Amino acid sequence: MFVQSEKTQGISNRIYTLQLFFLVMSLVLILQCFNLQMINYRHYNDLSLHNYLKATSIMPSRGKIVDRNGHLLVENKVNFSAKVTKKNRPLIESILKEKTHSDLVPLSHKTTIKIKENSELADKVDILSTRQRKYYDSKEMFSVIGYGSFYGQEFKPALGIEKYYDDILKGQPGYDLLKVSARGSLEKTGKSIPPVNGATVTLTIDRDLQKFVHKTLRVSKGAVVVMNPNNGEVLALVSQPSLDSNQIPNMYQNNNPLLKKNQPEFNRVISGLISPGSTIKPIIALSALENNVIKRSYRIQDHGHYVVANHVFHDWVPKGHGIVDLEKAIMVSCDTYFYILAKKMGINLISNAFSEFGLGQKTGIDLPNESSGLVPTPEWKQFNRGASWYVGDTIITTIGQGALLSTPIQLACVTALISNEGFYYVPHLLKGTTDISGHQHQPSHIKKVIRDYDPKHYELIKRSMKKVISDPNGTGHYYFRNRSYSVAGKTGTTQITSHHSQRADAPIPLHLENHSLFIGYAPVDHPQVIVVTIVENSELSAATVSRKILDFYFKHMVNNDEIKL
């Protein structure tokens, strides 16, 4: 055993110090590892997962739209196209058997399958798939279905049912969890949430009736709504002019002038504001009876005009109608009778009546962009026009002109209310939905609106409206000669150009034509169907159009069980 010198003893002490130093350094490292791995594990684990896990969405396929009888109206299609490069151009040309100069050539499904099945070809040809919404009877259905288009994988609804029921149609996207490396390679983890495809929407619309209505309403501007008063189901809803839903995205791309000129996206049935004209006379009469302004037997001597405050208001028949009672007033659409009622009722009672029948309010139909119309009041005029309300204003309001504006769908509700003698169902287009597993859902509660007036008053009004058609003197009689069913209705004509047509630059002669309106229901005793027709600036009469529609309805659809009472 060596005896350590003082020098080596000093060195040994310093080595102990070094050992302590190394121990402390090691503990510092372990402490930092503890900090990273034990204390902050969650944080760093999240960062690590965030680094390499990426969720990509799998788009669901959009729901189909079918009519009440299951006829397909809208579905999805996938279009394939091949990317053309310098390398594969000869190959693609040989497959297609034609020369091509574009970078992207459309492929038929047959060719696509041929390429995909051949692995040698599949390696060389890059196939892109684009999704497309395919609309059938697209021009006829446009007012109901609207349109939308795919931007890449995402569908953007723009109008109509496509937009209103987007939540039902679009489904839920699924997710695929991918492993991503820092170098960009992708690998499936096998973990995914499958997409839920959109539900099929069944409409209350009858495709054949809708097509017929579209064909019949051969005018530049007009609107028709056909509705079942017993449940609020809309059987046909047509607004002219119309567009082809399939073409609209392209039209926007090409800045097609048709879009601006005709405003075809404007749906006249729900947004078109028109003066309802004489079609609202039944409401005035009902209200006058209900508020005891007149008795049922109230009659006047009509000389063809009425003078109020030094102003002469003319009847549409210059000589007048002679002795006129309420029934006749509606049947022949006697203006003078209603001028007198106006004077007796006053504007407040009249505007109240309009509001009670739903004018000036949205009906709540399941389509976007519905207008509420306008029921004028003295306050409204003071506020908007800065002028006082005159008796003359009351008088022209009573015959459905002046500032009073309504939509065709509102008139349909008014007609339903009268035909049902006191209630109507909110008009709707959704009959039901069928989800991906086949479960059917009915739309939740359809709102029923009730106006409990005296049944005798309703009966009187309905009898008057029946006479409009059945009595040889009735304003609608001529249009409904030789019919095989009973009809009640009311015609209307407005001399003033409608709110909307003021913007159009239609030819002048046509522009001077009156708007023609018809509201009606049939059969008279147990109403099954309501027709409201508006024809703007045309020689074609709304009553003629309605007659053809009702003829078609009773010929082709009355056997349909769902329509029968």
Partner 1 sequence: MRSNSSTFDTTLLSLIFIYIGIGIIILYSGTDQNIPTLMRQLSRLSCGIFLMFMASLINPRDLNEMGTVFFFLSIIILLAVYLFGSSGKGAQRWLDIGVIKFQPSEIVKLTLPLALASWLDFRTNTFTNHFISFSILAIPCLLILIQPDLGTAILIGSTGLIMILISGLPSYMIAMCIGFAITAIPYAWFNILHDYQKARIITFLNPGHDSMGAGYHIIQSKIAIGSGGFAGKGWLNGTQSHLFFLPEHATDFIFGIVGEEFGFIGTTFIILLILAITYRVLMIAHKIDKPYERYVCCGLITNFFLGSIINIGMVIGIFPVVGVPLPLISYGGTHAWILLISLGIIFSMIRSYISR
Cα four-point dihedral sign 43, 49, 51, 56? negative
Which residue lies nearer to partner 1 by CB, 17 or 253?
17
Q: Are 227 and 416 in contact (CB under 8 A)?
A: yes
**Amino acid in position 363:** T
Q: Give the CA distances from residue 135 to residues 15, 124, 163, 302, in Å, rounded to whole numbers and listed in that order.
A: 89, 34, 14, 55
- Count of residues in contact with partner 1, rule CB under 8 A: 42
- The two three-digit tokens of residue 248, written as one number: 């609209």
- The two three-digit tokens of residue 434, written as one number: 């069928």
DSSP state of 548: H
Task: Write the interaction track for partner 1 spanning residues 511-540; mark x where CB under 8 A is met and - where it is not.
Answer: ------------------------------
Nearest-approach distance from CB 12 to partner 1, in angstroms: 5
Nearest-approach distance from CB 34 to partner 1, in angstroms: 6
The interface with partner 1 within residues 48-107 (CB under 8 A) comprises 48-49, 51-52
Which residue lies nearer to partner 1 by CB, 182 or 309?
182
Considering only 8, 153, 189, 495, the residue that binds partner 1 (CB under 8 A) is 8
Nearest-approach distance from CB 18 to partner 1, in angstroms: 6
Residue 111 CB partners (closer than 8 Å, separation 6+): 80, 95, 96
The count of other CB atoms within 10 Å of the CB of residue 541 is: 20
The interface with partner 1 within residues 405-464 (CB under 8 A) comprises none
Strands of the 186-193 sheet, one edge to the other:
53-58, 174-180, 186-193
Nearest-approach distance from CB 56 to partner 1, in angstroms: 17
Nearest-approach distance from CB 407 to partner 1, in angstroms: 59
In angstroms, rounded to a whole number, what is the distance separating the alpha carbons of residues 136 and 142? Answer: 10
Q: Are 178 and 53 in contact (CB under 8 A)?
A: yes
Which residue lies nearer to partner 1 by CB, 30 or 122?
30
Nearest-approach distance from CB 176 to partner 1, in angstroms: 17
Q: Is 45 in the site for partner 1 (CB under 8 A)?
A: yes
Which residue lies nearer to partner 1 by CB, 22 or 423?
22
Nearest-approach distance from CB 174 to partner 1, in angstroms: 24
Which residue lies nearer to partner 1 by CB, 16 or 383?
16
Which residue lies nearer to partner 1 by CB, 32 or 355?
32
Which residue lies nearer to partner 1 by CB, 3 or 307?
3
- The two three-digit tokens of residue 306, written as one number: 């009425």
Angle at 500 (CA atoms; ends 488, 347), nearest 5 degrees: 60
Nearest-approach distance from CB 5 to partner 1, in angstroms: 8
Q: Is 191 in the site for partner 1 (CB under 8 A)?
A: no
Comparing CA positions, the residue from 473, 367, 364, 480 lying closest to residue 424 is 364
Task: Write the interaction track for partner 1 spanning residues 144-183; mark x where CB under 8 A is met and - where it is not.
Answer: -----------------------------------xxxxx
**Amino acid in position 529:** V
Nearest-approach distance from CB 192 to partner 1, in angstroms: 19
Which residue lies nearer to partner 1 by CB, 50 or 439?
50
- Exposed, middle or buried, 496 (CB in 10 Å: 0-12/13-18/19+)? middle
Which residue lies nearer to partner 1 by CB, 191 or 296?
191
Helix or strand or coil: residue 381?
helix
Comparing CA positions, the residue from 492, 419, 402 lying closest to residue 231 is 419
Which residue lies nearer to partner 1 by CB, 18 or 104?
18
Comparing CA positions, the residue from 336, 343, 340 lying closest to residue 390 is 343
3-state secondary structure 15-46: HHHHHHHHHHHHHHHHHHHHHHHHHCHHHHHH
Task: Write the interaction track for partner 1 spanning residues 13-42; mark x where CB under 8 A is met and - where it is not.
Answer: -xxx-xx--xx-xx-xxx-xxx-xxx-xx-
Which residue lies nearer to partner 1 by CB, 51 or 495?
51
Angle at 103 (CA atoms; ends 101, 105), nearest 5 degrees: 85
Comparing CA positions, the residue from 101, 127, 103 lying closest to residue 115 is 127
Q: Is 188 in the site for partner 1 (CB under 8 A)?
A: no
Nearest-approach distance from CB 7 to partner 1, in angstroms: 7
Which residues sit at the interface with partner 1, rule CB under 8 A? 1-2, 4-5, 7-8, 10-12, 14-16, 18-19, 22-23, 25-26, 28-30, 32-34, 36-38, 40-41, 43-45, 47-49, 51-52, 179-183
